């Protein structure tokens, strides 16, 4: 390589370094800002996650403290006094509160505790369905069979996780209204359903026998 070529390369490299330095001076603040934003966002997400975990733990501790009461009324009152800062936490708290109130004989209060969850549009559908199902169960003595059947029919549709439990309740309403054949047909449908749990199938089988029905043999019935 000649001295001239070497000199040209050195000048060219120097120009490149000067140009790069110029870019850094001109646009380096943008890179620094992006890095700060990334680090800040990661820190904020970590802080928010820690805050959410702390809130969940605090709610769990408060609910456990309320549940240690020996008396049903005391448990109901203690749970009613607990506050939740998230919609999901409030739903879980409502389920526990309604259960304690029902155990204490406060059926109306239990239904009122479940109502906000059943009607909440900001909660996952499963929470609303569970609240509706529990509320209907509590209305056995206060609502007529037709009204309760309408509520359970809305849950006894494909895609609803409580579908078969709702079918069981509809069968019990059929018995209540004297339609034994319809009840037996519903119980047989539960026995034939692949999604039915062994416990649910046993209850259906026992109910059919008690009604004088003749259950058709299934692979899972009576397991």
For 185, counting Cβ atoms within 10 Å of its Cβ (0-12 exposed, 13-18 middle, 19+ buried), the class is middle
**Cα dist. 141→101, 137, 145, 156 in Å?**
16, 9, 10, 21
State the pLDDT at residue 144. Answer: 93
- Nearest-5° angle of CA 126, CA 131, CA 137? 125
11 DSSP assignment: H
Longest dimension (CA), the chain: 111
> Along the 223 residues of the chain, how does pLDDT read in single tens digits?
555 555 445 545 655 665 655 655 565 545 555 566 676 666 656 656 766 666 667 777 777 777 777 788 888 888 887 877 788 888 888 888 898 899 889 999 999 999 999 999 888 999 999 999 999 999 988 899 999 999 999 999 998 999 999 999 999 999 999 999 999 999 999 999 999 999 999 999 999 999 988 777 655 444 4
For 98, counting Cβ atoms within 10 Å of its Cβ (0-12 exposed, 13-18 middle, 19+ buried), the class is buried
State the pLDDT at residue 222. Answer: 42
Question: Which tokens go with 138?
Answer: 């509590």
Q: How far apart are CA 101 and CA 75, in angstroms?
A: 8
Q: How far apart are CA 22 and CA 186, in angstroms?
A: 80
Q: What is the dihedral of CA 207, 209, 214, 218, to 10 degrees?
A: 60
Q: Write down the residue that tokens 């609910």 correspond to.
A: 63
């Amino acid at each position: 390589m000649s001295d001239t070529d070497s000199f040209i390369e050195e000048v060219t490299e120097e120009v490149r370094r000067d140009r790069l330095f110029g870019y850094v001076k001109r646009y380096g603040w943008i890179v620094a800002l992006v890095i700060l934003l990334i680090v800040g966002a990661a820190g904020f997400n970590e802080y928010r996650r820690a805050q959410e975990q702390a809130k969940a733990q605090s709610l769990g501790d408060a609910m456990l403290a309320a549940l240690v009461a020996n008396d049903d009324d005391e448990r109901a009152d203690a749970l009613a006094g607990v506050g939740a800062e998230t919609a999901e936490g409030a739903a879980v708290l409502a389920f526990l509160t309604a259960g304690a109130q029902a155990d204490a004989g406060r059926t109306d209060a239990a239904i009122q505790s479940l109502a906000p969850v059943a009607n909440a549009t900001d909660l996952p559908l499963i929470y609303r369905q569970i609240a509706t199902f529990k509320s209907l169960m509590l209305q056995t003595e206060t609502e007529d069979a037709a009204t309760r059947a309408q509520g359970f029919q809305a849950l006894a549709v494909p895609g609803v996780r409580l579908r078969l439990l709702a079918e069981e309740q509809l069968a019990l309403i059929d018995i209540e209204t004297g339609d034994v054949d319809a009840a037996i047909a519903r119980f047989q449908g539960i026995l034939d359903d692949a999604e039915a749990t062994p416990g649910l199938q046993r209850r259906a089988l026992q109910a059919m026998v008690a009604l004088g029905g003749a259950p058709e043999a299934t692979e899972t019935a009576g397991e």
